[in-house]
Structure 1
Amino acid sequence: MTIRGLASALWQQEDLNFLLTNRIPRAALTRFMGWFSKIEQPLIRDLSIRCWRLFSDLDLSEARKTSFKSLHDCFTRELRAGLRPFDPDPSVVASPCDAIIGAFGPVEDGKLFQVKGAPYSLLDLLGDPALVDAHRNGRFITLRLTSSMYHRFHAPHDCRIEQVTFIHGDTWNVNPIALKRIERLFCKNERAVLRTRLASGEALTLVPVAAILVASIRLHFLELVLNAGTRGPTDFPCSVNVQKGDELGWFEHGSTIIVLAPDHFEFCDTVQESARIRAGQPLMSKPPRP
């Protein structure tokens, strides 16, 4: 097969993947999955987990439990103690989750990228001009969780969580195939904006973005689940001090976290696009100020 023929075949395969995972009733399927995954009937539970393992690289050898009440219980599994140590260096911002690294780099006057050549604005993502100003020329990194990964996320540094804002939206798939086809995808999906501040006063912001089959984000420090059924206020002021590595919450399937940091933070050498990273491993470092 020629290079052109191979490229055409791959593109057709991507088109099929996009159609199967996006051109469907996304919201209805997501609501159904939320209900179905919580069924505790043993036969349904076992068949669901077996199918999941058949079509993914799901590895449960690190899980704290060896049996699960439901598919949801398996999605949100804890790991055995000590398996995700967080880098103790106080200058290091660690990865909040297990992930595949996506786009990363400098924010350019309020503009960042979901993939190369596909920009979107911080204002569209965050919805708050004051927070945009804090990150206008900072650093960003995109962390994508696949369905089979460990789904819990943690504090990347010692910090104080000052506010959570929930933004209603769609549930597009967030895989690379969709990111190449849907402009400003992260700004269209449901997401939470976690505003945190380091002891130095600098802003460090986490944006967990929901996706198809996922759209529920559990935040332990608020004892709150955010999803399409969330009603009432969408801004949740708080003042919660957390230590690096503290568990903040979970996704109910797998999705994306965008990390926004100050402009003088530097990416660690291990940060490479498409590389896998584990919760606790170095993501960025804060160089000493002269």
Structure 2
Amino acid sequence: MKLTALRRFFQQEDLNFLLTNRVPRILLTRLTGRFSRIENRWLARVSIAVWRLFTDLDLSEAKQQRFDSLHDCFTRELVEGARPITTDPDVLISPCDAIVGACGEVAGTRVFQAKGFPYEIGELFGPTQDATPFHDGVYVTLRLTSAMYHRFHAPHDGRIEHVTYLSGDTWNVNPIALARVERLFCRNERAVLRLRLARGGHQLAIVPVAAILVASLRLHFLDVLLHLRYRGPNEMPCDTAVAKGKELGWFEHGSTIIVFAPRGFLLAEGIGSGTHIRMGQPLMRMPAVR
């Protein structure tokens, strides 16, 4: 009962916004990154115990149960078969465990991070990326909480053709901040992954967005760690084949992934704001291949 009351206290909107945004966000994020990598099993165990006071952290599906550092726990792998992959070839799967945020049709070039808070996909993608394939398309915002599985995977078979890295701030990306900070996703550190689907040749854009305490992104196919001190190159052409469900990388804590698809794609049945979804479950349905 006391634990529930403690969580409710820190979840009050004004207090939550103050504690997670009106602080030196970038400095705190860098310090947290350093602390999380300290390899000491006793320190890791105590840190995880404190973490559990504020979240519903569940490690029952983790491949390992003892962690050398907090970072190892954040980026944990799951046991084989913990996330079954939907095999229907017409379905794009969710790349991660998440809570669905704003989603639906792109209104020309405009989407929403929260009610009354629009942003332009061109600004999100950055000045070097062509966002026109996604005009009037479909998008889904996927928010990873700090307790969730933080690795993300390919939504379908295809090839990663390009990555653009955009440095930025580390605002919290929870619903409280999204309803208060205009164009938040366009302000934060992020990457734009362009995926060409093997089926139909359609393009997808997968946009991982960093947040406070989580400004590091590992992409396996580039063998590079993107973080606040990263100084380029910002444009990273690549040509990497990926299979549906293949692991692409991970966040160092919890954050957001926004998936964009062209016109003609549809949200999978049951997908809407507030939906809890796991990696491998249906996210979108592809148009018929002609």
Q: TM class by shorter-chain length?
A: over 0.9
CA distance in 1, matches of 2:207, 2:237: 16
Counterpart AA for 2:190: R
AA at the equivalent of 2:146: S
Residue of structure 1 equivalent to 2:277: 277
Q: Find the residue that maps to 1:51 and give its secondary structure.
A: helix
CA distance in 2, matches of 1:42, 1:214: 21
Residue identity in the other structure for 2:54 = F
Query: Within 5 Å, which residues of 2 pair with 1:256-275?
Result: 256-275=256-275
Q: Any conservation in 2 of the 1:216–1:252 contact (CA below 8 Å)?
A: yes
> Cα distance, 1:44 vs. partner?
1.5
What do residues 7-33 of structure 1 show as CA deviations (whole Å, max 9, x unaligned)?
xxx9x9311110011000000000000
CA distance in 2, matches of 1:250, 1:41: 22
Contact 1:18 1:178 in 2 (8 A): yes
Partner of 2:216: 216
Residue 131 of structure 1: how far off its partner (Å): 2.2
Indicate yes or no: 2:249 matched with 1:249: yes
Superposition pairs of residues 53-68 of structure 1, within 5 angstroms: 53-68=52-67
Aligned to 1:29: 28
Gaps of 5+ in 2: 1-8
Local SS of the residue matching 1:53: helix
**Secondary structure of residue in 2 paired with 1:44:** helix
In the other structure, the counterpart of 1:193 is 192
CA distance in 1, matches of 2:262, 2:18: 38
Residues 41 and 67, structure 2, Cα contact 8 Å, conserved in 1? no
What secondary structure sits across from 2:239 in the alignment? strand
Instruction: Give per-residue Cα distances to partners, 1:130-154, cap 9 Å, x unaligned.
Output: 5211111110000000000000000
Q: CA RMSD in A?
A: 1.5
Residue 6 of structure 1: aligned partner:
none
Distance 1:45 1:130 in 2: 40
Q: Give the match for residue 143 of structure 1.
A: 142
Q: Count matched residues.
A: 281
Q: Match for residue 202 of structure 1?
A: 202
Contact 2:122 2:129 (8 Å CA) reproduced: no
d(CA) in 2 for partners of 1:131 and 1:63?
39
Cα-to-partner distance string for 1:40-92 (whole Å, 9 max, x where unaligned): 12322111011011211000000000111100000000000011111111110
Say which SS state the counterpart of residue 30 (structure 2) adopts: helix
TM-score (norm 2): 0.94
What SS class does the counterpart of residue 181 from structure 1 fall into?
Answer: coil
What pairs up with 1:70-149 in 2 under 5 angstroms? 70-128=69-127, 131-149=130-148
One-letter identity of the residue aligned with 1:133? T
The 8 Å contact of residues 135 and 262 in structure 1, kept in 2 or not, is answered as: yes
Distance in 1 (CA, whole Å) between partners of 2:98 and 2:279 is 8
TM-score by length of 1: 0.94
The change in CA–CA distance for 1:178 and 1:230 in structure 2 (over 3 A counts) is same
Describe the SS at the equivalent of 2:205. Answer: strand
Matched residue of 2:131: which SS?
A: helix
Q: Tell me the SS of whatever aligns to 1:17.
A: helix
User: What is the SS of the residue equivalent to 1:74?
Assistant: helix
